[in-house]
Amino acid sequence: MHRPSRTTGRVFLGGQTMSKEIKSKRTTAASIRDMKKTGDKITMLAAYDYSTALKIDKSGIDIILVGDSLGMVILGYDSTLPVTMDDMIHHTKAVSRGARHAMVVGDMPFMSYHRSVDEAVGNAGRFLQEAGAQGIKLEGGREMAGTVRSISSAGIPVMAHLGLTPQAIHTLGGYKVQGRDSETARRMVEDAHILQDAGAFSLVLECVPGPLAGEITDALDIPTIGIGAGVHCDGQVLVVNDMLGIYEGFTPKFVKQYADLDSLLLKAFTHYIDDVKSGTFPGEEHTFL
């Protein structure tokens, strides 16, 4: 198996030319597994629409996750729990249209894979058949092993998810770091092995102490992708709205903001309002004769 080949592109920022690698082939579950073997860090961002996916894909990202976090950052819910399969399929379709090279992974929403294995396989299949994704993600440990095995056996790549699992927020008692006590940590290590054996091609570790995430990463053959889990994971993921500074909700400690688009957007909107009210816009250059 081979990683997707890359070609060198040129990006112009602030008058300076910067080289970067752009994929020429689609990233796959197999190439993601190979990246762990070669020590090539995996990059993933969560995004929800065509225009954003198009720009992320051009940057050379490895994976775009269409996360059920869209419930909060796009749909305005207080949690991920109200998100439906139809919501996820709708947004995954949009992202898939914009992603030509990145692997697109669709997040299985709450109760879409819990009632029965058959329903889980059917819903997972919708992400590939209807929405154009190349894999799915689901939350949970050993209790999900049979579901992971069945979905994987159907030819659908599965990304597993341990640690802080937002769909279980009421059970966990809030958005808290997971695995700080020895018993929980031991169980998480065991769950990671079980999910790998069940066929998961990768594992998201969310809000897990760095040393524990490093231990799990070293113990597994499949790659780990961290979010609030330290530098020792095989890759990292952030929500694009968080890293661009355009989500007004709570910003977790693990988020690094690479831009402050919130103030830039507000300035643009108020400038537009001022131009319209003052009659400055539209000008002659914006008017048909």
Catalytic residue among 139, 206, 284, 285: 206
Residue 24 phi, psi (nearest 5): -110, -5
Spell out the alpha helix ranges (H) of the chain. 29-38, 50-59, 70-73, 85-98, 117-129, 145-153, 169-172, 182-198, 210-219, 240-243, 261-278
Q: Is 266 exposed, middle or buried (0-12, 13-18, 19+ CB in 10 A)?
A: exposed
Contacts of 188 (CB under 8 A, 6+ apart): 141, 162, 163, 178, 179, 208, 212, 216
Q: Has 206 been annotated as catalytic?
A: yes
List 137's β-bridge partners, or say none.
Answer: 107, 159
C-beta separation of 156 from 120 below 8 A: no
As a whole number of angstroms, the distance between CA 205 and CA 119 comes to 25
As a whole number of angstroms, the distance between CA 122 and CA 30 comes to 23
Cα radius of gyration (the chain):
20
| Torsion angle of the four alpha carbons 72, 78, 79, 82, in this order, in degrees rounded to the nearest 10 | -90
Contacts of 271 (CB under 8 A, 6+ apart): none
List the structure tokens of 127: 């992400």
Q: Is 47 exposed, middle or buried (0-12, 13-18, 19+ CB in 10 A)?
A: buried
Tell me 257's DSSP state. Answer: P
Looking at the annotation, which residues are catalytic? 206
